[in-house]
Amino acid sequence: MDNLATLNVTHNGLSHDLPSKLDADTSDHDIRRIAAESLGLDPETFEFFVVDRFDTPQGEKRIYLRPKVPFGAEPEQVGTVLVFREGVCKEEVEHRLKELRDILDETYWVGGKPPINSFNPQWGGPVWYVP
């Protein structure tokens, strides 16, 4: 059985799959090290990054190395913050979120639309919160 996984790294607002697959059971420590080496970055770059592991519906194994969420939340208040680059309009985001509708719980949507917040310069662009 194939136990190889694709490693996706999010760093400085960009996300990219590394070209080489790695063993899906690679330790979190080694994933951080491999990512830093592959990208020519300081070994400490990903020290506090989170490692997530998923199997796709097609059976592919994926590993995501991403920054921790920059704020805390109460355990019962779990959500996702989507940050879009400057210049992305509200209508384009609504369109993209509607494409995700099948995998998002619409319980918190208002009037058939996802809850959208305004521009937040602290995040460097428009910010939308999906509970």
Count of helix runs (H) and strand runs (E) in the chain: 2, 8
| 36 CB-contact burial (10 Å; exposed 0-12 / middle 13-18 / buried 19+) | buried
Q: What is the pLDDT of residues 5-57, one digit of tens each?
A: 999 998 887 888 999 999 999 999 999 999 999 999 998 999 989 899 988 87
pLDDT at 95: 79
Q: Considering the domain 4-66, what is its CATH architecture?
A: Roll (3.10)
Is residue 77 pLDDT above 90, yes or no?
A: no
More confident residue, 102 or 46: 46
DSSP label of 59: S
Radius of gyration of the chain (CA): 17
User: Could you give the residue range(s) of every CATH 3.10.20 domain in the chain?
Assistant: 4-66
Angle at 33 (CA atoms; ends 71, 18), nearest 5 degrees: 85
pTM of the shown model: 0.54
Q: Which residues pair with 129 in a beta bridge?
A: 81
pLDDT at 14: 83
Average model confidence (pLDDT) across the chain: 75
